[in-house]
Amino acid sequence: MKKRLRKKLHVGEFQEFGFNLTIKFTEGNTNEALDAFVETFLDEVVDPNGLDFGGGGDCFDFAGFVVLATRGSVTEEHRALTSAWLEKREDVTSFEVGELVDAWYP
């Protein structure tokens, strides 16, 4: 396969990785608290590290996928940073930061 086609299809040296994220919140969480959590997550984890997050949920469960905002792949450091940030949150009862997976062909 020619380089131009590999780039267009995001395969080979152009393969990009991301990771799944699943979060469970404490009992009694509200929609307002969820909105505040999402804003803080975006402001403190996603935007400063050049990431994009797509997902959603309700005030009990939240899930999504994290990728690099530009061309390229997230790294193990991005996973560790996300995990460390979530561990410090009192409004989170449990979470799972998934392994790196192909962002284009899961």
pLDDT digits 0-9 by tens, 23-63: 999 988 899 999 999 999 999 999 999 999 999 999 899 99
Q: What is the pTM of this model?
A: 0.91
- Helix (H), strand (E), coil (C) string for the chain: CCHHHHHHHCCHHHCCEEEEEEEEECCCCCHHHHHHHHHHHHHHHHHHHCEEEEEEECCCEEEEEEEECCCCCCCHHHHHHHHHHHHCCCCEEEEEECCCEECCCC
Task: Locate the domains of the chain by residue range.
Answer: 15-102
Mean pLDDT of the chain: 95
Percent of the chain with pLDDT over 90: 91
CATH architecture of the domain 15-102 equals 2-Layer Sandwich (3.30)
Give the pLDDT of residue 28.
86
Residues 56-96 have pLDDT tens digits of: 999 899 999 999 999 999 999 999 999 999 999 999 999 99
